[in-house]
Structures are given as structure tokens and as C-alpha cells.
A and B are shown apart, each in its own frame.
Chain A
Amino acid sequence: MNLLFALMIVAPLVASASGLLVRGRESARDVATLIGSGTAAAASWVMFGIVASEGTKTVRVGGWDPELGIVLVADRFAALVLPIALAIIFVVEIFAIGQRRTAWGANPELAGPLLGVLTSGVSLAFLTGDLFTLFVAFELILVSSYVLLTHQGQRAQVRSGMSYVVMNLLASTLFLFGLAYVYAATGTVNMALLTERMGDLPEGVRIGIGAWFFVVFGTKAAVFPLFSWLPDSYPTAPTTITAVFAGLLTKIGIYAMIRFHTLMALDDLGGAMLIIAGVTMVIGALGALAQSNVKRILSFHIISQIGYMLMGLGLFSAAGTAGAILFLVHHMPVKTVLFLVGGLIENDQGTGNLDRSGGMASRRPLIAALFAVPALSLAGLPPFSGFIAKFSVISAGIEARATPIVVLALFAGLLTLLSMTKIWLGVFWGSPPDGSDDDDDPPGNRTTMLVATGMAVAGTLAISFFAGALFELSIEAAEELRSATAYREAVLR
């Protein structure tokens, strides 16, 4: 078990260091980064199998007592989400290798190694059992994301990168203050110990800490009104980078929120969360409708979809939390695929602007098909994974008699479908724009890019195929989180 945990966190770091050492030699560098993230992904799948059958596994780093040291915890929630996250990074790295010779590719000497650092941070964020290590994992992810976002040093990237850095740094500073409050109030930052001690705190202090961390994680997750940095910065980065960010970064904020607020049983915040969830959904979907660039439309959708996950969490019922977890599982691959297809469109058309492209359905039917599946899934149409995820969140809402939020969720789903139609009309239908030459081959290695995107689409289809089993796993994970005793016993035993 120790080895598995170590592989997930250390292997990508080692690969990233060796990738930097051999950075001049293309194939060696690619092999190093692929081995690193591949090892981590494989280890996480093995861990998923073990945890699903045997229950929560823990590792005390250095053998220290949980009171003092770092504990890594793989409960059902972490074991369910982490393999998907790591598989996404692996697929995107393959895509990046195909894309790197184009104008939209990231600088390959940096992107591979930095993605390794990001991978390690993602593993640590999902597995950590204490809040301070969560802070460090966030920083690991953010620092690599700052560099990935701005490393090409173009003007738009520096401008939006600055607001991205400032917003996230502010959230990190607030996180530190929050840690000080938690430590002052309870004398620990270990989440298992906190589940015990938070219950003894006065009502106001408990809710105050909960609200504080809601703001911190909410900024990372881009909930209303803290989302302003997202739609401006994501589209400026190279496609592969945006795909990883879209699939993972905001989701880690939501993951931390689901874990912290459910474990600490902060049900009192549920009402506020539901209101914010409703506004986030609708504002995100409306913002998407107003845009005319593929990547900007997709960026606004991230915000809208965060609202659904927050809604599942805000219901504070086992069904609601399970819905949020299932939504997370569905959303990460679907969003990544959509950005990868956005990259394919840019590569093919030379632009991601809707009014300067068109006619791709007849010329590139494969790309059209690769777009249609995740787009319909995002809008929540059966039989795709989005339908199952939305259905579980909304049925949990109906069960909890939260009618307004259910209505808003359905309305936002409609708006999502509308803006997906807008991309379809602009990019795939109609006639190609004047002056475009049908015969010229687009730059980059298209086969590699198509294979990577195809793998990811197959992954999203697999999610709807195994929906029943996944839903049961989510329910188990949600119940485990809500009771908190199992978690506490596994960590402190």
C-alpha cells in the first residue's frame, strides 16, 4: 500500500525532473513524462480496486502520529475520483505530443515536466488527510499552473495570467488564515481529529470556519461571485493546458469542499450554498451564450457546471452528495474532451471564432462526431453520462423538496444545450469561410491528437455504460463521508 501511495505522488515528480534533464532530446523527454503520469495513473487504478473491495486505506508518512504528522487517506471518494483525474492527464499528454509543432501547442520543453508537478499535486490533494497538506498540494498545483498559463509570455497570457495569479494567491492567503483559525480553535489540522473536535466548538465558530473555507475553496472552484478570473485566463493558454485546467483545477476546489464540508457536517451552510449554486449555474450558462469563441463558451460552461456540483453538496443528503460525486466523475473527462476538440477545431480552422469558421461537419466528420458526444453529454441528454449525473443531482433535489433550485438546474441545462447548438451551427454547419483551402494539411500530428481525443471520448462513454456501478460507489462514498466515523476510525486506528 505504501508503494502505491508513493508511486502516485513521487513518480510524476521524478519523471518531471528527468524530463527536464533530457529536455533537449525530444523522444526521451516524452517517454519520461508519459512513464511518470502513466505509472501514477496505473497505481491509482490498482488502489481503486483495493479500496472498492476492502475499504479505506491509510499511510502515515514517516510513521508519525496523526496528531503531528501527515496522513494520506484513500477512502472511497478519493479512490473513485483520483484514477479518472490521472487518466485525464495521461490522455492530454498524448494529445500534447501530437500538437506541439503547431502554433497552439505548449512549449514542449516545459509543458511535460510542469504537468508532472501538477500531477503530483493533484494526487496529493486528493489523498491528503490534513488541511495543511491540502494547502501545500494546492500550491503545488497552482504554481505549476501559473507557469503553464504564462510560459509563452504573450501579452494576453501575461494580462489574464496576472489576474489568475492574484485571485488564486488571495485565496491561498485566506486559506492560511483559515488554517490559523482552525488550529487556534481545535489544536489540530488533521481532518479526522477535526471531525471530533469541530463538534465541540460553539455554533458560531463552527459555522464561521465553514463559511471561511467555503470562500477559499469557492474561489478555486470559481463559484459565483468569485469566478471572474476563469473565463478570462483559461482560453489564453495553449489548448492542452486549458484542457487539463478545465478538467481538474476547479474540480479540486469542489472536491475539497465536498470533503471538508460533508465530513465536518456543516449542514447549516446548505441554504446559502444552494442559493449560490443556483446563481452560478444560470450566470455561467448565460455567459456562455453571449460568447462567440469556442474556448470562451466552454470556459463559461465550467462555471455553470460547478453550480450543479455545489447544488448536490448543498442539499446535505446522502443522495445529494452522491449526485455531486457522480457529477464530478462525469464532468472531469467530458470537459477535458470538449477542450481537446476545441484544440482540434483551432488546429483545423486556424481559429476558434465561430463567425470565422464553418462547414466542418462535411469536411471533418470524425471531429464532428468527437464533439457531438461530449457536447450532448454536457447538456445532459440521455443516454450520455451527463444525463445520469444531472438526473441524480436533480432527483436528490426533488427528494429534498428544494423546488426552486431544481427549476433553475433544469433551466440552466436548457441554456447549455442552446450554446452547444451555437458552437455546432458556427463550426460544423454552414459553408467553410472564404479563402480557406480544403487541401492543405493542418499542422501537427493529427493522428496522435485524434487518437487521444478518441480515447477520452471512449472514457466518457464508459462512464455512462457503467453508470449503475458508479452510482452505487458514489452512494457508498457519500455515506462514508456523511457518517465520518468510518473515516475517523480508519485514520486514527
Chain B
Amino acid sequence: MSAALLFAVFGLTGVGIYLITSRSLSRIILGFVLLGHAAVIALVTAGGPPGEAPIAGRSDDPIANPLPQALALTAIVISFGLTLFMLALAGRQQTLSGSDLVEDDLEDRRLAARAEREAALEELREAALAEEEES
């Protein structure tokens, strides 16, 4: 039982992280959904061995630890809300920029523009040098 859950956590985490590293927002959101599931399963597994439903006086068998289940439920609700918010944000991004790809941040764009400028200058300089040598 526990081993299966453990591998489920591994698998979900791996796929989740792979998806988060991509540039498309919808994939990133899916990645977070999977990662959230992995975390919730880890939380439930942390509660110890499985057992009967935790209602007192129902049976004599050992019952499951209810506390991590309560924690897991809270976490599920939170991640559900956040998924919706991210989807809304991705939708807004789609209408504003026409794609759901993550855009470069300000510094990145500045650096890229600077590199282009310098490369252009370098070319001009080399061309000028070559002309001088010819003449």
C-alpha cells in the first residue's frame, strides 16, 4: 500500500516539475495540479498506516489518523482555488498577448536588446576596419 503511494508521489512530482519548467502557461498550471496532488498524497501517507474510517465506537479495528486527512482537505481546497486563479490569469495573458507563453522579464529583454545592439556595432566596426585595410 505504502510503496504504491510512494511511487505515486514520485511519479506525480517528476511529471509536475517537468511540466513547470516549460514555457507554456497551461502546462505550468497542469504541473502545479500534479505537484499539489503529490504533496497531498505525501501528507496523507505521513499520517501512518491505513485503517477504518476515524469515527469513534464504530468498530474495534484500528482507525486511520484523521489529522493529516484534515490537513490534506484544507490543502486541496486551497490548491483548487489557486488553480482557478492561475487559469484566469493565463486567459488574461492570452487575450493581451495572443499566446499563453511566459514572456521574458524586463531585465532579460534589456540584456537581449543590449546584446543585439553591441553585436550590430561590432559588425559595423569590423566592416569599417575591413574597408580601411582594402584602401
A contact residues vs B (CB 8 Å cutoff): 68, 132, 135-136, 139, 143, 146-147, 150, 153, 155, 158-163, 165-166, 169-170, 172-173, 176-177, 179-181, 183-184, 189, 228, 231-232
Contact = CB atoms under 8 A, between A and B. Distances in A.
B32 A173 contact: yes
Contacts of B39: 173, 176-177, 180
Contacts of A232: 105-107
Given A169-B86, A179-B71, A180-B39, 5 more contacts: A158-B96, A172-B78, A176-B36, A179-B43, A183-B71
Chain B's interface: helix, strand, loop or mixed, by majority? helix
A175 to B, nearest CB: 9
Contact of A180 (B32, B43, B92): B43
Contact of B89 (A150, A155, A231): A150
A183 B43 contact: yes
A165 B89 contact: yes
Contacts of B74: 132, 136
A386 B107 CA distance: 29
A277 to B, nearest CB: 23
B51 to A, nearest CB: 15
Contacts of B28: 166
Interface of B: 20, 25, 28, 32, 35-36, 38-40, 42-43, 45-47, 67-68, 71, 74-75, 78, 81-82, 85-86, 89-90, 92-93, 96-97, 102-103, 105-107
Given A180-B46, A232-B105, A158 B93 contact: yes
Contacts of B106: 160, 232
A135 B75 CA distance: 9
Nearest to A188: B67
Contacts of A146: 85, 89
A155 B46 contact: no
Contact of B82 (A160, A169, A181): A169
Nearest to A146: B85
Which 4 residue pairs of A and B lie closest in terms of their CB atoms, listed nearest first? Answer: A176-B39, A184-B46, A180-B42, A183-B46
A170 B20 contact: yes
A230 to B, nearest CB: 11
A389 to B, nearest CB: 29
Contacts of B107: 231-232
Given A143-B81, A159-B103, A166-B28, A176 B43 contact: yes
Contacts of A162: 25, 89-90, 93, 102
